[in-house]
Structure 1
Amino acid sequence: MDALYYLIAALGGYLLGSIPFGLVITKLAGLGDIRAIGSGNIGATNVLRTGRKDLALATLLLDAGKAGIAAAIFGYFLGTTAGLIAGAAAFTGHCFPVWLKFKGGKGVATFVGTVLVVSWPVGLTVIASWLITAAIFRISSLGALVAALAAPVAALVIGRPDVAIMTGVLAALIYWLHRANIARILKGEEPRIGGGNKTGTDGAAATEKDGAETED
């Protein structure tokens, strides 16, 4: 019976997480297909490139909320493990939505939403890690990478190995999805928050198309 519950949680979480709110919101606002501008991503960062901060904020909250809701609902009705599975599945659905040929966002907001629900102390650690790193280095993607790594460490510290395993797997996926960002960080070419252009010699247009910024 547990296996059936976990399967239901995984499927339900994936379907909820795969809702492309960034694409839906921008189309409803009459802005066309968000995938046709900037990095082509469906996350809040790319929605912000439309000039609509309100839509970007709505996308951010909805992308985080859908994962949190999945973890909360299935965790409440089917148990803690099912909640963890549902949250992880929602993250996966956001990054690889079946409706968009498995081309979605990079999962940062969805990751935060999941972790806040399954363990709010770990979630707050993730947020604090991003804010501190971004404030010091002014590189959004670096903040996301540090925050992702902080999650399993914080979970182990507070005695939640189950959360550590889940966040460790998701953190590994975040690093893989940010592999281009990591390469630019190492080269000193990743754009800084508010900088507009790269810190290197290439043009900003190429940076955006490659998805240099952290995309949710």
Structure 2
Amino acid sequence: MLIPMICILVISYLVGSIHGSKIAQYLSGVNIKKEGLKNSGASNAAVVLGAKYGILVAIIDILKGVIVVIGTGFWVSQYAHFSIVEQDILLYSAGAAVILGHNFPLYTKFKGGKGTASLIGVLLALSWPLGLIGLILLIGTTLLTDYLLIGVFVFYFVFIGASIWFAEGVGPMAIAGFLFLMAVVLHLENFCRLMRKEEMRISTFLSKKKPSV
């Protein structure tokens, strides 16, 4: 199992390193890593370039998680000698590698996004009903609280819950816990801004007019 897992992790990491923000940069001429929140995530694309670019980047980054997990699942299904526990470990490991590639891409000196969109794709591929529930809760909580940050972590709790209740073995739970802790670290600045009441509100963002690019 070790060699297949290494191959899956490497491929998944490389796929995760392909950023939707690069497509946005090509279309707009603006490098969002040097503007706004100075990262390559969908939320920063929306802040810098407007909602349509944010949606474009989000879709691309979500698809990375979907494609890798579904691809891994198809590959695993061809080999009957993998147990259910091993299959789940491979699927979760592939998903985690995608998010690591997104957050720490090699070709940008390990400075990428924060992985939320790719995590959405991973959960949608693992279980589309749970992924859809998590996405609805993310959007609903964000609109209710007026902060994307809170919606993001509601989604993480859904992901952790799914890992505990529906995945086999402790491996998926450990991976989900690792991804959660990584998200906390990457969002520390956001939490600090939230405590100072300086975090951008969704209502403020929606009311802003973006310059044409």
TM-score bracket, normalised by the shorter chain, equals 0.7 to 0.9
Unaligned runs of 5+ in 1: 197-216
Structure 1 residue 113, shift from structure 2 partner: 0.5
Between the two proteins, what is the percent identity of the paired residues? 27
Match of 1:181 in 2: 190
- Alignment partner of 2:204: what SS? coil
Q: Deviations over 1:5-39 (max 9, x none)?
A: 100110000000011220x2133214232222111
AA of the residue aligned to 1:45: S
Structure 1 residue 125, shift from structure 2 partner: 3.4
- My pick for the range that moved more, 7-16 or 46-55, is 46-55
Q: Does 1:45 align with 2:43?
A: yes
Question: Mapping of 1:122-201 within 5 angstroms?
Answer: 122-158=130-166, 160-161=168-169, 162-196=171-205
TM-score by length of 1: 0.81
The answer to whether the Cα contact below 8 Å between 2:24 and 2:57 also exists between their aligned partners in 1 is no
- C-alpha distance in structure 2 between counterparts of 1:63 and 1:87, whole Å: 12
The answer to whether the Cα contact below 8 Å between 1:44 and 1:59 also exists between their aligned partners in 2 is yes
Match of 1:204 in 2: none
- C-alpha distance in structure 2 between counterparts of 1:106 and 1:172, whole Å: 12
- My pick for the range that moved more, 40-49 or 2-11, is 40-49
The answer to whether the Cα contact below 8 Å between 2:143 and 2:202 also exists between their aligned partners in 1 is no
Root-mean-square deviation (Å): 2.1
CA change 1:123–1:31 in 2 (3 A) is same
- C-alpha distance in structure 2 between counterparts of 1:100 and 1:82, whole Å: 27
AA of the residue aligned to 1:170: L
TM-score by length of 2: 0.82
How many aligned positions are there?
195
- C-alpha distance in structure 2 between counterparts of 1:33 and 1:55, whole Å: 12
The answer to whether the Cα contact below 8 Å between 2:19 and 2:60 also exists between their aligned partners in 1 is no
Match of 2:71 in 1: 73
User: Match for 1:107 among 86, 109, 115?
Assistant: 115
- C-alpha distance in structure 2 between counterparts of 1:159 and 1:10, whole Å: 19
- C-alpha distance in structure 1 between counterparts of 2:33 and 2:192, whole Å: 23
Structure 1 residue 160, shift from structure 2 partner: 4.6
The answer to whether the Cα contact below 8 Å between 1:5 and 1:78 also exists between their aligned partners in 2 is no
- Alignment partner of 1:39: what SS? coil
The answer to whether the Cα contact below 8 Å between 2:65 and 2:98 also exists between their aligned partners in 1 is yes
CA change 1:30–1:153 in 2 (3 A) is closer
- C-alpha distance in structure 1 between counterparts of 2:152 and 2:41, whole Å: 14
Unaligned runs of 5+ in 2: 78-86, 206-213
